[in-house]
Chain A
């Protein structure tokens, strides 16, 4: 029973003897043989750690277990929230939107505005046009957006709703109410690609639909666009903008969701920050667009390069060389020398890397996440002398990514020990970790079950992270982001070293005050 002077929650409550008895008594009703046979469980558990199991597991064709990816509309919503006063609008069932909002909210600990037009059975039969007509109008009246950013769910895609026609229909029906509201739209079927595909489709659509035809393009030789890609680290957005500002005030971020998920206490406002629509509508005039995530912007790149005939570059400013390339690219494009401040920042990062390298050197890592995130992070680990033993990308694109990753790993002097696992899930990774163990894992919240199973420490970098606070506020990008990565990884390693040497009278001879 609870002690009023020391009320405990479930964490300790259920360890009390009276609850342990309750849990024991329950067992007699649980299993098919009177109780689940602990011997059998141990036996199967050991088998799941074997090479035999690994082979069966890797041979899976149909079932995905513990994926490391999400679906398209999630990425589309991130794009919408990157533009000023924009309401993401999902054409489909509200169940999806409840999931998208919860997912982002749990990661950022911030509200996530997004509406749906609540399609159900009748829409499945007759199509979602009437939902769209009412929905756009209601959304506009209640939330007064400057722009509504429409994406679709798998339901709307399977029944074949035509967004172009529907948006026109909604405008016509609205008695002029929508005349001052931009409506951009993209088809984002959940059964194609992943959340980064949705990001790409929505970004491409937004840019195409807001901008005039190429014949009306007025090139602004100084203007440069930056597209961040599906970026869950708000600090990275800030860092990239800071670096850009050092070169030119005519560098514009397209899809800047930094402020939307980082607002202060005191009052609640639906919309915060974002790329001004005026800037979004003149994106075509820029001399060059730089994408920071090549694989989150494959379709967008085609529009910019082929339709707009604009300069197009990709840079991945994670880690030292990634940031170097970005900085040199900006220098080249603006014709401006690298500012002293950045030179200092770089020197400081290198200094920090040289301070800490012994701890990362030769350590084996298993890393998973989105394609571009991995290219950046793995590059940094190689720069530090770490070994990316398992690099797992569930949503790896069919073309290009593996070759790009090979090129990154080729820079490692232990390249032959590195493995790329494209299209594999985290249950595959579990087998890999048991058969070819590593020292540390780097990944998102779903790694905590792998941590529990394998005891391999998890350093949380990626998306989503629900179970640690405020990491998303930091940067992974730029030289300062490099220091964050270095701090997280090195201190993760040091925490583990302390953990392993803390046992009094046994291992604590190596428990040092100075590391």
Chain B
């Protein structure tokens, strides 16, 4: 498929998708869809409309502000208890779904995979839930004495009935001395999980950053860094951390996968903030730059090319000793990743991929696929902003279909039209495409494999893509009696 054919197919795909909508919705959706290529002057990456209200009545893949705050940012902080404040459902549906790995004694000093809920009933809606919340905080402290703080994650009704959870948190903190943070991340706020990230960051800014108690005795070094925006899905932050440590850096905090409250509180002592998921944590990085003068840089640890590039970029912030070690680390791992590429590239070369994920992955993972000779022909975000699309431009290397807030209908039509060899998206999409006989990988959860960040993780990524593409199961989709002779 030549580049021109691909581009015209992509444009046709958009036209056909839009034709299915009523006029009003088509007009709206047209602004979220487009084609871009690296050489293009102003393509979809510059012009795509994003971070806007989802068209009503479609099967959107988006989540809500609560999902962004509790599910992404706060939930993985392991030694705090995060209360899903409101009706029972939200906490239950988000329980254990994101694979935020951590080490600890669950239920005693660690609480990530547990579900704490104020389980609202009608009475709480009518009379307000503040008293119940206060009581819940007391019960938590009694039954879980090793918790290092509580966050209150608001579900939809809280903001609507006008409960003053900030006041409840303040009183509890005053009475007990325990950190207690109320987060107004009601699901109806904003247009997606994105606003939840922002709200969550603001609460960390307002309540955790001013806590200097752990910083007083902290002995810093010139090489202290913090990992920001890594949720340790399948252990990603650990396979990142090992590289940074081998470079001679000291990782003093991990945000927020496998994080503890103390790590967040000492983070202002870092010399450099390393930001992986720009979308979810650029806010706190900017704040720490402003307030504490900590520079931040984005990096990309997907695939050896981007990892190596990022390591050099990180090292350039430090002195020659670090730069020397960085080169040693690169050399050490490149031998291994070269062997991985030699093994898997011949099996994957030229395969076409369509991506649809959230956060940073629609752009960050492109390089990892390219390291294996695969081509990304379509990508999009569930909840990106304009700056994410601008960043995407740097990562695309051929005519690429760009779709913002794509829904089930659009994805299905795009895939049918462009016939990629692999679709990489989330669990809700997985079985739709597998039924069509298309290899699929879940790129939110690494399909229960991983980690995918760093050099060691690339070996897993390559093996998983081979597993996806070259499994014999895909040969069975068509029955023998339906196969052409």
Contact = CB atoms under 8 A, between A and B. Distances in A.
Given A60-B139, A268-B412, A36 B241 contact: no
A505 interface: no
Contacts of A357: none
Nearest to A72: B89
Among A22, A44, A194, residue most surrounded by chain B Cβ atoms (within 10 Å): A22
Contacts of A1: 332-333, 336, 455-456
Given A2-B459, A95-B193, A120-B189, A29 B93 contact: no
A271 interface: no
Interface in A194-210: 194
B88 A10 contact: no
Contact of A4 (B62, B67, B340, B429): B340
Given A13-B451, A154-B156, A191-B120, A62 B135 contact: yes
A157 B333 CA distance: 56
A25 B245 contact: yes
Nearest to B161: A158
Contacts of A57: 143
A417 interface: no
Interface in B330-361: 332-333, 336, 339-340, 343
Interface residues of B, number: 130
A69 interface: yes
B107 A124 contact: no
Contact of B59 (A32, A115, A153): A115
A95 B157 contact: no
Nearest to B451: A10
B171 interface: no
B86 to A, nearest CB: 7
A29 B253 contact: yes
Given A2-B459, A4-B459, A48 B107 contact: yes
Nearest to A431: B143
Interface string B247-267: 000011110001011110010
Interface in A408-462: 427, 430, 445-446, 449, 452-453
A9 B450 contact: yes
Interface string A56-67: 110011111111
Contact of A105 (B157, B262, B430, B450): B430
A265 B435 contact: yes
A368 to B, nearest CB: 14
A427 B21 CA distance: 48
Interface stretch (B109-117, B274-282, B286-294, B389-397): B109-117
A179 B460 CA distance: 53
Interface residues on A, range: 35 or more
Given A14-B238, A31-B262, A105-B427, A64 B146 contact: no
A194 B266 CA distance: 42
Contact of A67 (B25, B67, B88): B88
Contact of A191 (B63, B87, B136): B87
Interface in A108-159: 109-121, 123-124, 131-132, 134-143, 153-155, 158-159
Contacts of B103: 23
A285 interface: no
A213 interface: no
B317 interface: no
Q: Which of A1, A18, A26, A139 has the most CB of B within 10 A?
A: A26
Contacts of A267: 435-436
A74 B90 CA distance: 11
B223 to A, nearest CB: 13
A51 interface: no
B167 interface: no
13 contacts: A4-B459, A36-B79, A64-B88, A71-B92, A98-B428, A99-B94, A110-B431, A120-B189, A124-B159, A141-B25, A142-B58, A192-B122, A266-B435
Interface of A: 1-2, 4, 7-10, 13-14, 18-19, 22-23, 25-26, 29-32, 36, 40-41, 44-45, 48, 53, 56-57, 60-67, 69-74, 89, 92-103, 105-106, 109-121, 123-124, 131-132, 134-143, 153-155, 158-159, 177, 189-192, 194, 263-268, 427, 430, 445-446, 449, 452-453, 466
Given A67-B115, A116-B57, 15 more contacts: A7-B459, A10-B101, A10-B450, A13-B239, A18-B242, A32-B148, A60-B139, A67-B88, A67-B117, A69-B88, A71-B87, A96-B90, A105-B431, A124-B188, A138-B55
